Structure 1
Amino acid sequence: MRRKFNVSIIGGGSTWTPGLLMSMCKMKDRFPINKLTMYDIVEDRQKVIGEFAKVLLREEYPEVNFSYTTSKEEAYKDVDFVFVQIRTGGYKMRELDEKIPLSLGVIGQETCGAGGFAYGLRSIGDMIEIINDVREYSKDAWILNYTNPAAIVAEALRRVFPDDKRILNICDQPVNLLRSYGRVLGRNAEEFEPVYFGLNHFGWFTNLYDGEGRDLLPELKEIINERGFIPVDAEQRDKSWLDTYAMVKDMVKDFPDYLPNTYLQYYYYPDYKLSKLNPDYTRANEVINGREKRVFEECARVAKAGTAKDCEMVHNDAHGEFIVEVAESIAFNKGRIYIVILENNGIISNIQEDAMVEVAAVLTANGPRPLAVGKIGTFYKGMMESQLAYEKLAVDAYFEGSYGKALQALTLNRTIVSAKKAREVLNALIEANKDYWPEFK
């Protein structure tokens, strides 16, 4: 009989949770679940999602023992996998992450630049606490972490838990891109074998092989140059995401070697991106008034109706399915190739060993086995090293309580560059984050 697993979702009140639950139902034969627990520190928020989950699972996955809780012991005891997707400070702080930098004349974005710096420093403490709590109750559980900004979080966790080989930081954007490539090419993305290198939200596809070993990248670049680029789930996306994907065409035109992660546009074209961002209505507002509102309204409707059969949930299939696929490959030693975040240790031979890089790896029961990248070119090495230095200095600033390191980090970031501007932004972010950040000296 196939083994079933005990799984906990940390951040149960997230708008991404319903999509993750639906993916678990869809993939129940591939990754069977015995017990599923949702945990969140915001009880009222999680309750809406939790009551939806009861209805969905009763109809689609009745054999699962489901509960939602604010008890750490209930969430973490005797679990096999922990899926983490927290947002320290919630959307209130995300809005400040975006609007404070914009008010001072630099890019305000959730994971890039000053906004990502603020979010990253808030996330570190909570992630350390979560891992310590998980290890108290389930020392061998796999912790699969979606929490952003993943690059800063991964670097911090590498330092605090250097010997814990069952923490895996992942991001769904490369998967979103692979599925979008499939849409452009009219092919099933599951057949693709990607070659990819970079840092989280800062990487490039160098090759994209099909099942016969043919590199599809030249064809894909040609199509994007001619027709542009849209996400696989374009019909569900807000306008800002459609604009984000459309910029891939510009990046491929200017830097045609590889296919870029969409987030690179903030670093390639900071002045242009700044000119397109509305300081009074940012992506946070779009989410609050869009996906957030629609997801919670639909969850409440389903719970009241007592059936999810006609559910019209706004969700991202890649987000939910990717983390389940990763768990499946580990749980059943499938050895599938996925793009994940790992300590470099020679994967990219001309980047420092202790960098947390995002690369393709074979996922087995004993963890990831990365696929070597080798040397990368001068331009990409320079881009990566600048961003890597920013990330490491940001984490230094957190652990050392160092204003100087924080200033260095923001000065290095390509979305800011000016030290005077970096100081101005840093001072404003310190004030906004005084309840979350360590005291800077």
Structure 2
Amino acid sequence: MKIVVVGGGSTYTPELVDGMARLRDVLPVDELVLVDPDSHRLDLVGGFSHRILAAHGHPANLRTETSLDRSLEGADAVLIQLRVGGQEARSGDESWPLECGCVGQETTGAGGLAKALRTVPVVLDIADQVRRRAPQAWIVDFTNPVGIVTRALLEAGHRAVGLCNVAIGFQRRFARLLGVRPDQVALDHVGLNHLTWERAAYVDGTDRLPELLRTNAAELAHEIELPEELLHTLGVVPSYYLRYYYAHDEVVRELLDAPTRAARVSALETELLQMYADPGLTEKPALLMERGGAYYSEAAVDLIAALLGQQTQSSRQVVNLRNDGTLPFLPDHAVIEVPALVGHDGVRPTPIAEVDPVFAGLVSAVTAYEHLALDAALHGGRARVFKALLAHPWSGRLTAPTD
């Protein structure tokens, strides 16, 4: 089995390699190729990844490449985790929207739109190369904005699915609080990428979320930085990203007085790369958890294993996929983030209970923005960009373009 990681020089990559090393019985990888144009980062990350595999006694052949063309032949799955423009571009995405009184965030809103405009053409070019070199390979997108990028891939006819670690993070957190194994917790996770709510947490067929809200609402509210009473009022646990909507102006004030997340991540990456250069380091450092992407490796391994037929039956996983009637208030071609049955025959959304208008209204508005954002990314033009900005709940107050 051959896995190719595009953006293999990311400081995330050792998290992924560690998961593959630990979970070799789930995903028996023979060949792992890390691809990145930054040869310096690739050497550091690749060397550390080699040591991780060796420490686990994993027999996979790991190699690094700066050329995608030399990497794709015979690939079974291609995981895309890139950032066009690096942390410097991200810093801009997180900064200039604040000048307009809007949250600056790299995955949605004005900043997320800027990232989509840079990212979609690059990812589609990569996907076209995958189609030519490895037409049977699955493309797993971990590149933000995941919803828009996955929609671009699917509308272009690629064999693709989007992945985010928010759901698996909640699954692990709920399991810890309930004192059960993570695989015993099945989430009713509904919405769009970075716009989701946990409506239920089933353990052996019983919804334990009401219990969690009775006993642990204060802790959960603290983690997502939203008022405890909001969780009780809604009867759900929103993702952290809902704070940008429910407490928008408060977040803007906080961001104006704090360094950008990009600045913090840049500092972390510098420190992590220095650690990765240590030939004695064979385990992922604790600092990597601060980089983000917790449980990313487990989610990726489970998803790829299911797609490549390594499981005897389809498994239930939260992914980004075409709506196709799952949420009837959205168009079929919208990309949603919900539980799905994943197997060698593809990805099929599970039935979803009716979505309360308090959630459906926001999901509909952001879906419209994502449609317009993708149109702008594919076809360009100031007017298209302006329409996408105007449609987003955060940035509808921006000034119209002038000739």
Question: Is the pair's TM-score, using the shorter chain for normalization, greater than 0.5?
Answer: yes
In 1: Cα distance, 2:48 partner to 2:145 partner: 28
Q: Which residue does 2:244 correspond to in 1? A: 266
In 2: Cα distance, 1:61 partner to 1:115 partner: 43
State the aligned residue count.
398
Q: Is the 1:152–1:394 Cα contact (8 Å) retained in structure 2?
A: yes
Return the match for 1:213 from 205, 218, 229. 205
Q: Please, which runs of 5 or more residues in structure 2 have no aligned partner?
A: none
Q: Is the 1:99–1:279 Cα contact (8 Å) retained in structure 2?
A: no
Deviation, 1:258, is: 2.1
Q: Which residue does 1:99 correspond to in 2? A: 95
Return the match for 2:37 from 21, 36, 41. 41
Q: Is the 1:184–1:229 Cα contact (8 Å) retained in structure 2?
A: no
Q: Which residue does 1:308 correspond to in 2? A: 282
Deviation, 1:95, is: 0.5
Q: Is the 1:330–1:366 Cα contact (8 Å) retained in structure 2?
A: yes
In 2: Cα distance, 1:320 partner to 1:267 partner: 29
TM-score by length of 1: 0.85
**1:278 partner letter:** L
Q: Which residue does 1:195 correspond to in 2? A: 188
1:47-97 Cα distance to aligned partner (Å, 9 max, x none): 110111222223324411111011223321111111111111110100110
SS in 2 for 1:74: coil
The 5-angstrom pairing of residues 182-261 of structure 1 reads 182-210=175-203, 212-229=204-221, 245-247=224-226, 249=228, 251-253=230-232, 255-261=233-239
In 1: Cα distance, 2:114 partner to 2:360 partner: 25
Return the match for 2:52 from 48, 53, 56. 56
Deviation, 1:155, is: 2.1
**2:208 partner letter:** L
**2:384 partner letter:** K
**1:308 partner letter:** T
4+ runs deviating over 4 angstroms: 309-313
SS in 2 for 1:29: coil
**2:272 partner letter:** V
Q: Is the 1:112–1:266 Cα contact (8 Å) retained in structure 2?
A: no
In 2: Cα distance, 1:110 partner to 1:53 partner: 27
Q: Which residue does 1:435 correspond to in 2? A: none
Q: Which residue does 2:315 correspond to in 1? A: 336
Deviation, 1:248, is: 6.7
Q: Which residue does 1:136 correspond to in 2? A: 132
Q: Which residue does 2:261 correspond to in 1? A: 283
Deviation, 1:199, is: 0.8
In 1: Cα distance, 2:207 partner to 2:86 partner: 42
Evaluate the alpha carbon distance shift between residue 15 and residue 310 of structure 1 in structure 2; reply closer, same or farther with a 3 A threshold.
closer
Deviation, 1:108, is: 0.7
SS in 1 for 2:78: strand
SS in 1 for 2:207: coil
SS in 2 for 1:33: coil
Evaluate the alpha carbon distance shift between residue 127 and residue 251 of structure 1 in structure 2; reply closer, same or farther with a 3 A threshold.
farther
Evaluate the alpha carbon distance shift between residue 418 and residue 224 of structure 1 in structure 2; reply closer, same or farther with a 3 A threshold.
farther
Deviation, 1:187, is: 2.7
Return the match for 2:344 from 341, 361, 365. 365
**1:388 partner letter:** T
**1:379 partner letter:** V
TM-score by length of 2: 0.93
SS in 1 for 2:337: strand
Return the match for 1:78 from 71, 74, 77. 74
In 2: Cα distance, 1:21 partner to 1:88 partner: 22
Return the match for 1:175 from 168, 171, 184. 168
Return the match for 1:408 from 374, 377, 387. 387
